[in-house]
Amino acid sequence: MRPVIYVLTFLAVLGLGFWAYREHYETRQAIREVSTLNAEIASLREALALQRAEWAYLNRPDRLRELASLNFERLGLMPLEPTQFGDAANLSYPAVEEFFGGINNSVMVTGQLNPEEEPL
Amino acid sequence: MTRTPLRPLARILKARAQGENPDVIERENLRLRHEQGRDASRNRAEVRLLILGFAFFVAFSAIGARMGIVATTEAAEPRSFASGAEILAQRADITDRNGRVLATNMLTHALYAHPKDMVDPARVAGELAAIFPELKADDLTRRFTDGRSFIWLRKVLSPEQMQAVHDIGDPGLLFGPREMRLYPNGTLAAHVLGGTSFGAEGVHSAEVIGTAGVERAMDARLRDPALSATPLELSIDLTVQAAVEEILDAGITMMNAKGGAAIIMDVRTGELLSLASLPAFDPNNRPNPVLPKDAEPGDSPLFNRAVQGVYELGSTFKIFATAQAMELGLVGPDTMVDADAPMQWGRHRIREFQNKNYGPLLSVTDVIVESSNVGTARLALQIGGLRQQAFLKSLGFFEATQIELTEAPGAKPLLPARWPDIVTITTSYGHGMSASPLHLAAAYAAIANGGITVKPTLIKQTGPRPGTRVMREEVADASVSMLRQVVTRGTASMAEVPGYEVAGKTGTADKPKRTGGYYNDKVINTFASVFPASDPRYVVLVTLDEPVETSGTEPRRTAGWTAVPVAAEITRRIAPLLDIRPVVEAPPLDGLTAVRN
């Protein structure tokens, strides 16, 4: 019994050693990947910050105002006016479209349908 | 191990046969057994001590070795956890209330030299001078060859300049990364932002510190590493600020003024949506102008007229006298008061504008509408100096504003040392004591806010922050209604913006000479207004420095002709931006437009 335990223990040590060796190298590989990714994230964040700054610079009010006046003929952009506020109550209802060639009640349909017109 | 019996039969029998005491043998054996046991346990203890000693030795050597390694190697960042945004930004961004960037950071490089590594210092000096006009070739050659081992050449480089320096190709020229503060909107809101400069500089990084404005006042917050990923949100609205600066600039040109300031303030939260002072500067490249000796501080573009400019604000103060008189129950809006001009008080004679006489009697409302100095003076005398001081103090006129700018604590109102009756009289119509336009805006906000003070702030707020009540709500409403009548039938008729019920008061104050007395032809014109009068939301305040309106036959310098039209245009432009509907009937839409949608 005892030799079996010795052999098994030895094998277990061997196996664990191999496992630890692989884990070690995998961890180092993972750390290397993480640091590459971190560097990439940092450079992307840097690019993002730069693009945000660029966006803010290109959208600065002075420039937009100049562009709006340069392209006035095409775009016709003007500063917002108080009169541009609309109210739902000021909208008129859409005009009632005349279906059935002006016929809008059943009596007219039965009595006065013109046979030369196309039936709807 | 064979165990020796204590009384071995053979020896006992032998001893008995010889007539000896067998117990002696037993004792002898017992003693031997004890000695054996003692030796064994001593050996075991020694081995254990040895093992323990070895363990201690290994532990201490391990710790010592680790300490040695830590002490002799360079520190490395822990890399095995995810990193956040703090990698890049060491200083938080500043945005407006809608998240539009006002200040951000950009990575750039500084240029330094190790002259001892240089191959050809003279050539390098010549090529550097060709790239950077401010560097002189002779000067550089001297500095490269006088035995120094380190020289700073430029604090920041553009990418093109960096490439040009790369192309020189000398190993003695080196770059250090730098985080640079960038203000993408240029001069917009320059006085609010202030500016930054480099603090302690190293090869690998440099400290960015605020030098003025919000950048300096909020420096600790902006540099807090825990908050560097969260931008600082100001109360400023970039669009409103741009519109205000555009109109104010046009107004200054049209009215031939030296400068001007405009403030837009939310009367409920105290948030400043716009704080403009012109002329302005570019915070990306903060100037350091050298002014002539006789120049006023206000001549510098760095001077923030809205906050630092302490002026006598003129007739805009009259509303405080009438409001206090109503609050104390001395008068009502329709009470008739003595307004017979000129009024004699001791050696002083109080006159009206252009020596008019609005009297003999005027209602309190008409005192404001006609802007009667004498009427206000009579009310102030009824109130008395002590109560007047207490009221102005409660409106914040006796101390510097608490706004988040470094310049604010320095701009204390100028108060007369004593407060005799004549000071009570002059203060009631805005002469004798000086305060900044921001003080005035905050005081008008208190009236517009139903009599409750609000603290002006540049930081975005989540809700109203009511202060203390300084007057009853009816008094505040009556005061706003008086201000409204100033626009409908008084001195500020040009302030009318259809649909927005502007209510405000003009103020024209002669500029004091440095040598004493007042200029005849230099004025400060102020128009302080609130809108819409039925439910005031915003204070609009415009101040122009030395304006003169020349469209008529003779130059006009009253606020009604200068500051008022500018303020009206500002209101007309910003009210739609602030999403306030005009109370006016929109022109009928034509059928085509209506149907298309």
**Running DSSP on this structure, what letter comes out for residue B18?**
T
- Percent of chain A's residues with pLDDT above 90: 40
| Mean pLDDT value of segment B441-470 | 90
What pTM did the predictor assign? 0.77
Q: Is the dihedral of CA B121, B127, B133, B138 positive or negative?
A: positive
pLDDT at residue A16, rounded to an integer:
97
Find, among B277, B238, B188, B260, the residue nearest to B527 by Cα.
Answer: B260
- Which pLDDT band, with edges at 50, 70 and 90, does B596 fall under? very low
Measured in angstroms, the CA of A77 and the nearest CA of chain B are apart by: 14
Q: Is the pLDDT of residue B249 over 80?
A: yes
pLDDT at residue B595, rounded to an integer:
47
pLDDT at residue B62, rounded to an integer:
97
| Mean pLDDT value of segment B302-315 | 88
Q: Is B495 exposed, middle or buried (0-12, 13-18, 19+ CB in 10 A)?
A: buried
* pLDDT tens for each residue of B471-527: 999 999 999 999 999 998 888 888 888 888 899 999 888 888 877 778 888 888 999
Secondary structure, 3-state, B390-445? HHHHHCCCCCCCCCCCCCHHHCCCECCCCCCHHHHHHHHCCCCCEECHHHHHHHHH
Centre a 10 Å sphere on the Cβ of residue B290 and count the other Cβ atoms it contains. Answer: 7
Q: Is the pLDDT of residue B448 over 80?
A: yes
Measured in angstroms, the CA of A31 and the nearest CA of chain B are apart by: 6
Torsion of CA B221, B222, B226, B230, to 10 degrees: 110
Chain B residue with CA closest to A85: the answer is: B581
Is B595 part of the contact surface with chain A (CB cutoff 8 Å)? yes
Is B89 part of the contact surface with chain A (CB cutoff 8 Å)? yes
* pLDDT tens for each residue of B321-333: 999 999 998 888 8
Nearest Cβ partner for B581 among A41, A61, A85: A85
- Which pLDDT band, with edges at 50, 70 and 90, does B371 fall under? confident
Give the ranges where B218-260 is alpha helix by DSSP (H): 219-223, 238-254
B571 within 8 A of B529, measured Cβ to Cβ: yes
Q: Taking CB atoms and an 8 Å cutoff, what residues of chain A touch B589? A: 86, 90-92
- Which pLDDT band, with edges at 50, 70 and 90, does B209 fall under? confident
pLDDT at residue B587, rounded to an integer:
52
Nearest Cβ partner for B105 among A35, A49, A91: A49
| Mean pLDDT value of segment B86-113 | 83
| Mean pLDDT value of segment B72-82 | 66
| Low-confidence winner among B188-202, B259-273, B400-414, B578-592 (lowest mean pLDDT) | B578-592
Q: Taking CB atoms and an 8 Å cutoff, what residues of chain A touch B108? A: none
C-alpha–C-alpha distance, residues B334 and A69, integer Å: 51
- Which pLDDT band, with edges at 50, 70 and 90, does B543 fall under? very high
Nearest Cβ partner for B79 among A38, A42, A52: A38
CATH number belonging to domain B87-233: 3.90.1310.10
pLDDT at residue A12, rounded to an integer:
97
C-alpha–C-alpha distance, residues B194 and B303, integer Å: 10
C-alpha–C-alpha distance, residues A103 and A108, integer Å: 6
Number of residues written out for chain B: 597
Q: Taking CB atoms and an 8 Å cutoff, what residues of chain A touch B182? A: 53, 57
Residue type present at position A58: L
Query: H-helix or E-strand containing B338?
Result: strand B336-338
Q: Give the class (CATH, top level) of B240-281+302-577.
A: alpha beta
* pLDDT tens for each residue of B512-534: 887 777 888 888 899 999 988 88
β-bridge mates for residue B512, sequence order: B518
Residue B517 is encoded by which pair of tokens? 């007395």
Find, among B187, B165, B192, the residue nearest to B176 by Cα.
Answer: B165
Residue whose structure tokens are 């190790």 = B114
Residue B417 is encoded by which pair of tokens? 């040392």
Classify strands B232-233 and B259-266 as parallel, antiparallel or unpaired.
unpaired
pLDDT at residue B437, rounded to an integer:
92
- Percent of chain B's residues with pLDDT above 70: 94
pLDDT at residue B79, rounded to an integer:
54
Q: Is the pLDDT of residue B304 over 50?
A: yes
Find, among B242, B243, B234, the residue nearest to B213 by Cα.
Answer: B234
**Running DSSP on this structure, what letter comes out for residue B316?**
G
Inspect the interface and report whether the beta carbons of B576 and A86 lie closer than 8 Å: no
Q: Taking CB atoms and an 8 Å cutoff, what residues of chain B touch A91? A: 589, 594
pLDDT at residue A78, rounded to an integer:
85
pLDDT at residue B406, rounded to an integer:
87
Mean pLDDT for chain B overall: 86
User: Kindly report the CA angle at A34 between A32 and A39, in degrees rounded to 5?
Assistant: 95
pLDDT at residue A118, rounded to an integer:
57
* pLDDT tens for each residue of A3-59: 999 999 999 999 999 999 999 999 999 989 988 998 898 888 888 888 988 999 999
Chain A residue with CA closest to B244: the answer is: A61
- Percent of chain B's residues with pLDDT above 90: 33
Inspect the interface and report whether the beta carbons of B572 and A46 lie closer than 8 Å: no
Is B573 part of the contact surface with chain A (CB cutoff 8 Å)? yes
Nearest Cβ partner for B185 among A34, A60, A81: A60
pLDDT at residue B589, rounded to an integer:
55
Inspect the interface and report whether the beta carbons of A56 and B577 lie closer than 8 Å: no
Domain extents for chain B?
1-32, 87-233, 240-281+302-577
* pLDDT tens for each residue of B151-205: 888 888 888 888 999 898 888 888 888 888 889 998 999 999 988 888 877 777 7
pLDDT at residue B594, rounded to an integer:
46
Is B76 part of the contact surface with chain A (CB cutoff 8 Å)? no
Mutate which of A36, A57, A67, A77 to disrupt the B interface (most B C-beta within 10 Å)? A57
Is B592 part of the contact surface with chain A (CB cutoff 8 Å)? no
| Low-confidence winner among B282-296, B448-462, B484-498, B569-583 (lowest mean pLDDT) | B282-296
Phi and psi at residue B490, in whole multiples of 5°? -120, -145
β-bridge mates for residue B271, sequence order: B457
* pLDDT tens for each residue of B380-404: 999 988 999 999 999 999 988 888 8
Residue A51 is encoded by which pair of tokens? 């693009």
pLDDT at residue A113, rounded to an integer:
53
Nearest Cβ partner for B573 among A50, A79, A85: A79
Q: Do domains B87-233 and B240-281+302-577 have the same CATH topology?
A: no
C-alpha–C-alpha distance, residues B570 and B566, integer Å: 6
pLDDT at residue A8, rounded to an integer:
96
Q: Is the pLDDT of residue B285 over 70?
A: yes
Chain A residue with CA closest to B184: the answer is: A57
Residue whose structure tokens are 């009470």 = B335
| Mean pLDDT value of segment B322-345 | 87
Is B85 part of the contact surface with chain A (CB cutoff 8 Å)? yes
Q: Taking CB atoms and an 8 Å cutoff, what residues of chain B touch A42? A: 83, 87-88
CB contact residues (below 8 A), chain B span 237-256, against chain A: 238-239, 242-243, 246
Q: Is the pLDDT of residue B40 over 50?
A: yes
Q: Taking CB atoms and an 8 Å cutoff, what residues of chain A touch B497? A: 82
Is B121 part of the contact surface with chain A (CB cutoff 8 Å)? no
B213 within 8 A of B303, measured Cβ to Cβ: no
Residue type present at position B206: A
